[in-house]
Structure 1
Amino acid sequence: MAGPLYLRVFFQHRPESCVRLGRRKSVRSTGKMALMKLLRERTHVVMIILVIAFVGLIGLEWGADMTGRGPGGQNAVGSINGESVSYEEMRFEVERQQEIDRQQQGGSVDEFRRREIINEVWDRRVNLTLLQQRIGQQDISVTDAEILEAIRTNPPEYIRQEEMFQTDGEFDQTKYLQALNDPAVEGWTFLEDQYRMLLPRQKLVSRVVSGARVTDLEVRQAFVNQNERLTARYLLFDPEDQAVEPESITDEDIAAYYSEHPEAFLEDDRVSLSYVMIPKQPSVADSQRVERQIDELYDQLADGADFETLARDFSEDTSNASEGGNLGFFGRNDMVPAFETAAFETPPGSISNPVKTEYGWHIIKVEETAVRDGEEQVRARHILLRTMTGQQTLSALNDQARQLQARAVESGLEEAVRSAGAMPDSFQVESTGFFADRPDGFIPGIGYLVGASSFAFASEPGEIGEVLESTSGFYVLENAGEKPAGVLPLEEVELRIRSILVRNGKMEQARLRGEEVRAGLAGVNLDALSGEMADRVATTDPITRQQAFIPQIGQDLNFIKGAFQLSETGELSEVVEGERGYYLIQLVEREPVDETTYEMVKENLKRQLLIQKQNQLYQEWLTRLREDAVIENNLRDFFAI
């Protein structure tokens, strides 16, 4: 690809619904409408990433106006250094990202992802606004000549992939330039506007990362870290083999640890919720409806209807409905009891009476019985109708929740449940306990419930929330109390501290045992061990300094560091503290790096390290920019997160 890498533009997503332009004999024959259609399609639903080659972390939306001139509106969801972000702008971007997710996943967006999208869109808006503000402060601009050069040499990836600009499946620069120079082809103003927005950002980031350098020594060390390998023998001194009883930890020990480590018990603001969840369970009417449906199918089968056809048309077991309900062979204890009993009692070639299980209602057709591997088995098909909660039932449950909520507003949740009337047993007040606000919105006891976290941290104690709904039920919430940020009281963390001190005691005993064994080796290594101790010595597979996981050891950087400090075959380490306990490590073999390979890859490796350094510089700069900014976030006033 011609031109500097840092101007390349790639698609993050290119939905199938975007209609590709068909193959044409010449660019001129496409005319202005084809190009304008192409650009218009990409404006509405496609997100791309401007990948500045050395900074792969700056995201923006191709075709999105991130300068604050979006759809407009007066309700500010927040501000960045005094620059407001309207609700309409945020909603527009959130809905577009949700549509992109739906197209990528081929389905709906779940509650957790919806919350995640709102926060991602806000973070992206903050970052880009700060970039744009810094561009203005540094008076960064681009010339028409720079924009023209970028358009000529670095067209967006979606244009490069269009057949109208390709020859034999490859981008044809000549065709592209021909279209640029053809007065009959219009629509290039769109690209000009985008590059006029993107290039100043690229200039700013270039300044930020301009100080990044990579030395030959750093390249060499990175290659060694990635490729030098060794094999080691080791002996683990496991703290779980040591005896430290919780009762041995005194109150004085606990109090001393608490006073010496206050930072370990810092908590953010916490809230407790009381709640009632009314589950979306099928009603008696729902069950009766499914019974009538399964009876009707049974009658059709008794009158000679084809079992496989009915299974394909009506069975709600998606794993086999398309195969006519085929279950293949199965033995006893392979199915739930009621299903198994019916299947093994039904003669081959016959169908069972309707059978109810926890999954719904079944009709089973037994096709064959056989003894396979000494076990009696049957080959069968089935039709499953699940007992689903009907719309009338859902409406009734929703009404129950709203009635309970209305009573709770008047008298509190506990009293509202006590006076629930005809079905008091159906309502139980549960408690989340105190919890801090999590970025993902998870709440103990409830899980992910859109709107629950927003209510919890925006409400006052005793306040009742609106009825919230999830896939499993309807919720009525009450703010049951708050605890301000600070160090947790000793009584709340006493058990946690006791567990920590027991673990520390076991680790210390393991360390002392390791020191004792090493001293006993008196200048020799693990090969001198015998008996039970020798049986516990294990050997690693070849490992590198950057090994992510070592079998039987896990992720343990201290183990790797201790092993690579050994240089001579048979050399024994000092006692090394690892994640699982303490180790003695003995070098078995150290494999040097391949110098020929190093010469082949060092230039590419140097470029990779430069990108990493520049990414790090950019991220550190952006973090400082955010820390110094005045950012007001009112998302919870507008979105259910």
Structure 2
Amino acid sequence: MLDILRRHADSWIIKVLLVGVALSFIIGFGAFFYIKDLIGKGRGRKPAIVVNGEAISTARIQNALRNLEYQYQQIFGENYDPETFRDQLRRQAIDQLIDYTILRQEAERKDIPVSDEELKRKIHEYPVFQTNGKFDIEKFKRFFGQRRGRSGLTQKRFLEEERQQLRVEKLRRMILDSVKVSDAEVEEAYRLKNEQVNLLYVAFDPKDETGEISFTEEELEAFFNQDPSAFQLPERRRISYVVFDASRYLDGIEISPEQIAAFYEENRDRFRVEEEIHARHILVKSSPDASAAEDEAARKKAEALLAKIRQGADFASVARENSDDLSNRDKGGDLGFFGRGRMVPPFEDAAFALLPGEVSDVVKTRFGYHIIKLEEKREARQKSLEEVSDEIAAELKAEEARKRAEAAAKAFAEALQNPEDFEKVAQQQGLEVETTPLFARGDPIEGLDRPWALISEVFRLEKGGVTEPVRAGERFVVARLDEIASPKTPTFEEVREKVIARFKKEKRKERAKARAEAFLAELKGGAAWDDLVTREHLEVEETGWFN
């Protein structure tokens, strides 16, 4: 399959095929964000992209970006950091819109039919139009009645767009069904998916470049003038908000023994401790592409080391002096505790067959020849209810407190008749209203832990809008958008401190890169890895197994 893609990279069919996963985002993501995209159309903004004569507006790109951000929030939860993903997601959103537009244009050209019954089934699947899991025609009518005045979105227009999307989905299936995959391509795909590697590496961190960085005012201004837009102040927003902290609702929550026992029975697998062993090893490297003579030399060296150990030599000392596994050589080959599935099969099978204190014969893997010593073994077992009852009780209590905090937040939101009631309702409920300074999408909000989901919701609001309850750490927050500050390109004087910080950062990156390039050049020139690592005071790190 990969070879087919490489040979036909310029084919429009292959390009369309590559968007198969992306299409699920545009076609199947659901009514809420899709309808927001429709509402955002037709507001007179200049197109950001033109595809075969058809304009894609900046507003549509922003809506597609928000949809992707929402998906990533669902995947990463409270650990989602928009700064980490923003550039990648923006490129992805643009690519998806372009691909979708090309597909839709082709589907229209082919006049792919979509029946009324197919359209009806699709509309009925949207949760936003359902009550108790079933399509509700009154809810459907009410939805468009509420939006007609301020957005121009009508049932007719919505159904036309839905029909178009079904055409695109049919075209996509036609393309995918036409692709034939050989056994060799299946084998290659399986190998790429399942083959694992473990890397040792050294990092040259710009933060370690602590030497003095001097500059003149002229250098700073020249650096700024290279790209003033890089210092652009993004759109910023200011909110008022109230917090519902789960810890405030812990008092009075009682968890019964029956609840604890029921949770234990429903989650027995969580409390099962799998078999683990604590082992050491010595590696004599022999790569899969080594010659027969090289491989034989490695095997003989491993056999000699094994004989030395069986004659009474200390295993850890022999490992420190001879092992080629740099990640644990200095620890006497200590691998710590690990369970099944962590090591390559020949190594795992040999290690788990040993008894504590035993040393294996020489074991061959794709990395070379190993000698393994088992230090300890922990048998698999099920933790008893008594062992974990306190842990379960604390978890159930915290979960109930979160539910109560969320319920209080929902009650507050429902009590708001309009945004101006925010302070009055807060006062009635004994809540303190907090106000933020202006902040951008990637900025933290002081006093709130992991606020990224809240920030994402705030940047979907119109001025004066109020969020639904949003979780931030162990709190739920309801916020009102008070102010929107448009993006602007600042003067040098306005951002001088930021220019200094970025100038220094770039210089440190240049120094780190120069060190890394010099290290690599010496390594390619024949210098020993260990000698270079020691001289440069570098720490060897390990990725762990991955594919």
TM-score of Structure 1 vs Structure 2, range by shorter chain: 0.3 to 0.5
Q: Which has the higher helix share?
A: 2
> TM-score, structure 1 length as denominator?
0.32
> TM-score, structure 2 length as denominator?
0.36
Which structure has the larger Rg?
A: 1
